[in-house]
Amino acid sequence: MRCPFCNHGETQVAETRESDEGDVVRRRRRCLSCDKRFTTYERAEIALPVVVKKDGTRADFDPSKLRASMQLALRKRPVSIEQIDAALERIQEKLLTSGARELPSTKLGELVMRELKKIDKVAYVRFASVYRSFEDVDEFRQLIRDI
């Protein structure tokens, strides 16, 4: 870590503390050249992939949009907030572990459908009908048979 005062390349950590939430580490440092002290903060940088939509446009992954679409499918269904949060966590974990920098929106939709299928079949059918743009009853029947 470079000293912000003299730009010397060597500093010594004098004290380390974690934040109350545990997501930030605060370090007090001392420059080995000018002996001045300064504070640095460390936090994990989570790089979720960019979502590539069907029309080719790109948008940052937004967990709140994902939550809203799942909650819409789960409307008036006996599913707890904890179950929704767990499903969102599993989706985000899959995205992080994939290491992909870009993600087609179709793949994201498939991940959501897989999670909805586990927690509520009716919500799964609701989401799939909009996601896959069903145009007639036969497509609904086929989806229900597949379940």
Residues 10-21 have a mean pLDDT of 90
Residue 126's pLDDT is what? 85
Domain count, the chain: 2
For the four alpha carbons of 34, 40, 42 and 48, in that order, the dihedral sign comes to negative
Q: Are residues 70 and 29 in the same domain?
A: no
Give the phi and the psi of residue 139 in degrees, each rounded to 5.
-65, -40
Q: Are residues 82 and 105 in the same domain?
A: yes
Residue 21's pLDDT is what? 78
Q: Are 38 and 4 in contact (CB under 8 A)?
A: yes
Q: Are residues 107 and 124 in the same domain?
A: yes
- Residue 101: exposed, middle, or buried by beta-carbon count in 10 A (0-12, 13-18, 19+)? exposed
Residues 84-125: tens digit of each pLDDT? 999 999 999 999 888 889 999 989 999 999 999 999 998 988
| Structural domain includes residue 24 | yes
Q: Are residues 39 and 75 in the same domain?
A: no
22 is in which domain, residue-wise?
Answer: 11-43
Cβ neighbours of residue 60 closer than 8 Å, sequence gap 6 or more = 48, 50, 51
Residues 46-65: tens digit of each pLDDT? 788 999 998 999 999 999 99
Q: Are residues 18 and 77 in the same domain?
A: no
For the chain, helix (H) and strand (E) counts, in that order, are 5, 6
Amino acid code (one letter) for 15: E
**Mean per-residue pLDDT of the chain:** 89
Q: For residue 3, is pLDDT > 90?
A: yes
Q: Are residues 119 and 135 in the same domain?
A: yes
Residues 37-43 have a mean pLDDT of 93
Strand 11-18: give its sheet, edge to edge: 11-18, 24-31, 37-43
For the chain, what is the radius of gyration of the CA atoms? 23
Q: For residue 82, is pLDDT > 90?
A: yes
Q: Are residues 69 and 19 in the same domain?
A: no
